[in-house]
């Protein structure tokens, strides 16, 4: 009899614990949905930026038109000109600008160039200076393409410039159209998880990007069919994608390629952060960043190399959680 009573008591306790767990779970889920709804509500509502069409454009003629077309090809097939077998010079890792700026920088939410001509020159904290379009392009040559800057006066640079100017021809000066640039992603309230990220990578990304993140060259080796995500041919640790928020935002709304869209992402927000943590925990080329952020009070929250003005660790600056860091910066 006595042991029977004890058993019932135990069963009651277990039931209570389980029910509490369930309630907690639902509350957390509700809270997250609430936070996401608030995030979405804060985004401007307008139709997304659409790039002009060269086909319909009857005003851009002669030399200008030739440069715009050449600029577009340089962005789409950069490797052909500047890769390891480049026809102009061999100064990059073999990636194309288009690998990260989809459809030659025209896809809505695909890290496009819709706000380049309208927003540059602009102040940038990383260099603590006013940067023009040429400087910004060379930043991606040196970091995202882990290569060398190209001559600002070269026909190639002037053509990429002409292309970006043409892309932005209908965007009012100073304005950033909806859907332009890198899409923002809501924060998560925990550290991004490398182990969970690896699982996502293996299940979803590996078929295209390779078991060692090495990507896959096309049969004649002139450019990547699937670009590398880490290793010696990938972007270096000073590149935009090495910041977790940039990687997560890009991947959430664009990967798997041609499957995920802004309206219908394939990863949850948490999965995007976790896979970002995994990929950016893998080895990649290093670039000296000792001269970056000369004014450290201007530093963004997810730069993974100190020194910092706050007391948070390099690990937290790299993997989060970021809310406290952002708060500390605001009250500084
Ligand atoms: C490995 C990915 C990657 C590659 C390859 C890459 N970029 Fe970028 N680029 C980025 C990211 C990420 C950003 C946004 C960084 C940020 O906002 O912090 C960016 C930003 C830019 C911007 C500024 C956009 C804006 O609206 O402020 C320009 C211009 C640019 N890239 C040009 C190029 C050019 C030209 C090439 C090829 C020579 C190139 N990029 C190759 C990842 C890449
Ligand atoms: C169906 C094949 C495919 C799958 C699956 C896929 N990608 Fe991609 N990914 C691509 C292609 C192709 C590009 C380059 C697009 C271009 O050049 O137009 C790309 C580009 C990228 C880039 C920018 C370029 C670079 O190499 O740094 C990142 C980052 C990326 N993918 C991450 C991911 C992640 C993370 C996943 C899994 C969640 C994933 N991709 C799944 C095909 C794929």
CATH number at residue 304: 1.10.760.10
Do both 118 and 219 map to the same domain?
A: no
What confidence score (pLDDT) does residue 2 get? Answer: 64
Residue 266 is assigned to a structural domain of this protein: yes
CA 256 to ligand 2 centroid distance, Å: 6
Closest ligand by atom to 230 CA: 2
What confidence score (pLDDT) does residue 264 get? Answer: 95
Q: Which residues pair with 123 in a beta bridge?
A: 130
Q: Please choose, from the candidates 252, 244, 248, 267, the residue with its C-alpha nearest in 3D space to the C-alpha of residue 316.
A: 244
Q: How many residues are listed for the chain in this entry?
A: 332
Do both 127 and 224 map to the same domain?
A: no
Alpha-carbon gap, residue 26 to 20, rounded angstroms: 10
- Verify whether ligand 2 is closer than 6 Å to residue 207 (CB atom): yes
Q: Which residues pair with 187 in a beta bridge?
A: none
What confidence score (pLDDT) does residue 27 get? Answer: 85
What confidence score (pLDDT) does residue 39 get? Answer: 63
- Verify whether ligand 2 is closer than 6 Å to residue 231 (CB atom): no
Terminal alpha carbon distance of the chain? 66
- Verify whether ligand 2 is closer than 6 Å to residue 244 (CB atom): no
Phi, psi of 193 (to 5 degrees): -105, 110
Q: Which atom of ligand 1 is nearest to the CA of 92?
A: 38
Tokens at 249, concatenated: 């935002």
Residue 288 is assigned to a structural domain of this protein: yes
The 10 Å Cβ neighbour count of residue 63 is 8
Phi, psi of 225 (to 5 degrees): -80, -45
CA 28 to ligand 1 centroid distance, Å: 36
Q: What is the mean pLDDT of the chain?
A: 93
Q: How many domains does the chain have?
A: 2
Q: Which atom of ligand 2 is nearest to the CA of 275?
A: 35
Q: Please choose, from the candidates 101, 92, 96, 93, the residue with its C-alpha nearest in 3D space to the C-alpha of residue 231.
A: 93
Closest ligand by atom to 119 CA: 1
Do both 200 and 271 map to the same domain?
A: yes
pLDDT at 41 over 70: no
CA 138 to ligand 2 centroid distance, Å: 23
Residue 163 is assigned to a structural domain of this protein: yes
pLDDT at 332 over 60: no
Mean pLDDT for the stretch of residues 4-18: 91
- 194-243 confidence digits (pLDDT tens): 999 999 999 999 999 999 999 999 999 999 999 999 999 999 999 999 99
- Verify whether ligand 2 is closer than 6 Å to residue 251 (CB atom): yes
Closest ligand by atom to 235 CA: 1
Helix/strand/coil (H/E/C) assignment for every residue in the chain: CHHHHHHHHHHHHHHHHHHHHHHHHHHHHHHHHHHHHHHHHHCCCCCCCCCCCCCCCCCCCHHHHHHHHHHHHHHHCHHHHHCCCCCCCCCCCCCCHHHCCHHHHCCCCCCECCCHHHHCCEEECCCCEEECHHHHHHHHHHCCCCCCCCCCCCHHHHHHHHHHHHHCCCCCCCCCCCCCECCCCCCCCCCCCHHHHHHHHHHHHHHHHCCCCCCEECCCCCCEEECCCCCCCCCCCCCHHHCHHHHHHHHHHHCCCCCCCCCCCCCCHHHHHHHHHHHCCCCCCCCCCCCCCCCHHHCCCCCCCCCCCCCCCHHHHHHCCCHHHHHHHHHC
Do both 68 and 131 map to the same domain?
A: yes
Do both 248 and 317 map to the same domain?
A: yes
Residue 32 is assigned to a structural domain of this protein: no
CA 177 to ligand 2 centroid distance, Å: 25
Is the sign of the CA dihedral 236, 237, 239, 245 positive or negative? Answer: positive
What confidence score (pLDDT) does residue 68 get? Answer: 98
Do both 217 and 142 map to the same domain?
A: no
Residue 229 is assigned to a structural domain of this protein: yes
In the chain, the percentage of residues whose pLDDT exceeds 70 is: 95
- Verify whether ligand 2 is closer than 6 Å to residue 205 (CB atom): yes
CA 100 to ligand 2 centroid distance, Å: 8
Q: What is the pTM of this model?
A: 0.89
pLDDT at 166 over 90: yes
Residue 95 is assigned to a structural domain of this protein: yes
Alpha-carbon gap, residue 79 to 74, rounded angstroms: 8
pLDDT band of residue 329 (cuts 50, 70, 90) is confident
Residue 201 contacts residue 278 (beta carbons within 8 Å): yes
Q: Please choose, from the candidates 316, 286, 294, 291, the residue with its C-alpha nearest in 3D space to the C-alpha of residue 303.
A: 316
Do both 127 and 215 map to the same domain?
A: no
Residue 285 is assigned to a structural domain of this protein: yes
Residue 185 contacts residue 252 (beta carbons within 8 Å): yes
Residue 202 is assigned to a structural domain of this protein: yes
CA 241 to ligand 2 centroid distance, Å: 12
Mean pLDDT for the stretch of residues 84-101: 98
Do both 152 and 94 map to the same domain?
A: yes
Do both 137 and 252 map to the same domain?
A: no
Final residue before a domain boundary, out of 150, 167, 184: 167
Do both 237 and 327 map to the same domain?
A: yes
CA 241 to ligand 1 centroid distance, Å: 9
By residue range, what is the domain housing residue 139? 63-167
């Amino acid at each position: 009899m006595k042991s029977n009573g004890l058993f019932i008591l135990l069963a009651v306790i277990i039931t209570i614990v389980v029910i509490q767990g369930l309630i907690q779970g639902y509350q957390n889920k509700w809270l997250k949905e609430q936070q996401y709804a608030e995030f979405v509500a804060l985004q401007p509502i307008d139709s997304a930026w659409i790039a002009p069409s060269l086909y319909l454009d009857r005003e851009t003629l002669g030399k200008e038109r030739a440069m715009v077309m050449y600029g577009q090809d340089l962005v789409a097939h950069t490797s052909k000109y500047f890769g390891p077998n480049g026809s102009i010079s061999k100064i990059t890792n073999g990636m194309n600008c288009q690998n990260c700026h989809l459809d030659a920088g025209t896809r809505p939410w695909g890290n496009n160039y819709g706000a380049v001509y309208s927003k540059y020159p602009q102040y940038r904290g990383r260099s603590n200076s006013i940067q023009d379009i040429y400087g910004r392009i060379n930043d991606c040559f040196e970091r995202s393409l882990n290569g060398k800057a190209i001559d600002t006066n070269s026909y190639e640079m002037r053509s990429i410039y002409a292309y970006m100017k043409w892309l932005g021809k209908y965007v009012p000066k100073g304005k950033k159209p909806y859907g332009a640039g890198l899409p923002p992603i809501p924060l998560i309230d925990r550290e991004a998880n490398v182990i969970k990220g690896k699982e996502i990578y293996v299940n979803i990304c590996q078929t295209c990007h390779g078991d060692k993140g090495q990507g896959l060259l096309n049969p004649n080796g002139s450019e990547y069919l699937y670009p590398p995500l880490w290793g010696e041919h990938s972007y270096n640790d000073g590149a935009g994608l090495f910041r977790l928020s940039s990687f997560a935002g890009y991947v959430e709304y664009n990967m798997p390629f041609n499957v995920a869209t802004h309206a219908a992402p394939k990863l949850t927000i948490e999965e995007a952060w976790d896979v970002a943590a995994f990929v950016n925990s893998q080895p990649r080329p290093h670039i000296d960043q000792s001269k970056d952020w000369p004014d450290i009070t201007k530093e963004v929250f997810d730069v993974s190399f100190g020194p910092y003005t706050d007391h948070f660790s390099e690990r937290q600056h790299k993997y989060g959680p970021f809310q406290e860091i952002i708060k500390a910066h605001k009250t500084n």
